Homo-oligomer: A and B are copies of this chain.
Amino acid sequence: MGAERLTNRDDAVLAILKTSEEVNQLKDVDSILDKILFESRQFSGADAGSIFLVEDDRLIFSYVQNDTLFKKETANAALYQNFGIPISEQSIVGYVAKTRQSLAIDDAYELDATLPFSFNKSFDEKSGFRTTSMLTIPLIAQESRLVGVMQLINAKNDMGKVVPFSHEARTYIPLFCNNASVAIERGIMNRELILRMMQMAELRDPSETGAHVQRVGAYCAEIYGTWAARRKHSAKEIKRVRDNLRLAAMLHDVGKVGISDNILKKPAKLTDEEYDTMKWHTIYGARLFKNQTSELDHMAMEIALCHHEKWEGRGYPSISKKDVWAGDDIHLGGMPRNGADIPLAARICAVADVYDALASPRSYKDPFPDEKCLGILESDAGTHFDPEVVEIFLEIFDVIKAIRDKWTEGAK
């Protein structure tokens, strides 16, 4: 809603309209939460905020921003915390979810003892943060569906002093949240649709689980974020590419659906000929994105096609994009690819996918310990993998671990 604080109702509503338009551009639910929280904080001058989404009658922690505690534009493990709060009057977010009314609090440490809820000081105690003013807003989509709760913390005035949330913030942010809630529902649906495509692949290859693709998508988004921040790409560009990359990376192995059962489900080692057939999953996957109507399609195509290419060459399928659309009479390896010829998204996905296989249990092995996984990635940097991507992976390994813990096998 713009950096300037708008006080005129008319301008505020126009700004909401414009921001809603921008939110509706985004496809992935995490990108949508990031944008909604960022814009609401800009509008109100809030130092921090978080969003909880409703899942099975609980409020699940889903997004956080905090200018005091976290550096902007760097990978942040706090995003992947896994906890939920019951929808009950005991907590502030639970109370707001239950009453479906916005609630402004001027000082969280000075709550009237007659109120049903109390402020949970544990986060402040752990982090050294001092929560003062709060504005907590229910996220309600049409037909009164409760999608979640947004909590904004510590409004600051122009001097950087923490103050109560303004009348304008209390009036206009809930208005924006109506549109935002619809966008969140849509973002959840988009991710579900992509998970379903992967479930179709899972019907055929049980190692392609929903948890695996959620992890690979999140690893890729975080690696890319750091890669682009190093190059000082604009925040807007980074957010747009991350949004697409996360969903596109989830689809890296979708072409396995085209591989016949006797190869895909063979309990023994594949023969050379069978392995060559297996390599076609890259081409089948790329072909699913032939009608490239968006940047997401384009990126999904690049990742599906090139995630088994190697930095020094000798990966597969090493064919030209033109040949992807040709018939099945193509010579794999006809156009060798290496280095930066391999699209960045595919170089990132290669590291994320291999790491996830190493760190996950398989029928024939236990998960490898961290040192072993990282050792393999490091020793293959520059041969199999883009060395800078491996370097970034090691740099943000705390975030990688937080992601790994968020989506464990068996979870949704």
Which A residues form the contact surface with B (CB < 8 A)? 9-10, 13-14, 16-17, 20-22, 24-25, 27, 141-142, 175, 178-179, 182-183, 185-186, 188-190, 192-197, 199-201, 203-204, 254, 257-258, 260-262, 284, 287-289, 291, 293-294, 296-297, 412
Contacts and interface: CB of A to CB of B under 8 A. Distances in A.
A261 B258 contact: no
Contact of A20 (B27, B179, B195, B297): B179
Nearest to A260: B261
A201 B258 CA distance: 9
A162 to B, nearest CB: 31
A27 B187 CA distance: 12
A10 B406 CA distance: 45
Contact of A142 (B14, B21, B257): B21
Contacts of A189: 27, 293-294, 296
Contacts of A262: 261
Nearest to A13: B13
B25 A142 contact: yes
Given A17-B13, A261-B260, A193 B193 contact: yes
* Copies in the assembly, this chain: 2
B203 A200 contact: no
B258 A203 contact: yes
A24 B258 contact: no
A347 to B, nearest CB: 24
Contacts of A10: 9-10, 13
A186 B199 CA distance: 23
Contacts of A287: 199
A323 B361 CA distance: 29
Contacts of A291: 192, 195, 412
Contact of A200 (B25, B27, B178, B288): B288
A267 to B, nearest CB: 15
Contacts of A16: 17
Given A9-B10, A261-B261, A24 B200 contact: no
A189 B247 CA distance: 13
Shortest Cβ-Cβ A-B pairs, 4 listed: A203-B258, A200-B257, A24-B182, A260-B261
A314 B175 CA distance: 53
Nearest to A200: B257
Nearest to A178: B21
Contact of A197 (B22, B182, B200): B200
A192 B297 contact: yes
B200 A254 contact: yes
A196 B199 CA distance: 13
A258 B204 CA distance: 6
A278 to B, nearest CB: 15
16 contacts: A16-B17, A20-B21, A20-B179, A21-B178, A24-B179, A24-B182, A24-B186, A25-B182, A27-B189, A185-B294, A188-B293, A189-B294, A193-B194, A197-B197, A199-B288, A200-B258
Contacts of A296: 189
B203 A257 contact: yes
A104 B296 CA distance: 36
Nearest to A181: B21
Contacts of A193: 190, 193-194, 197
A21 B412 contact: no
Contacts of A254: 200
Nearest to A193: B193
Contacts of A197: 193, 196-197, 200
A261 B259 CA distance: 10
A190 B293 CA distance: 11
A193 B22 CA distance: 21
Contacts of A13: 10, 13-14, 17
Contacts of A182: 21, 24-25
A204 B20 contact: no
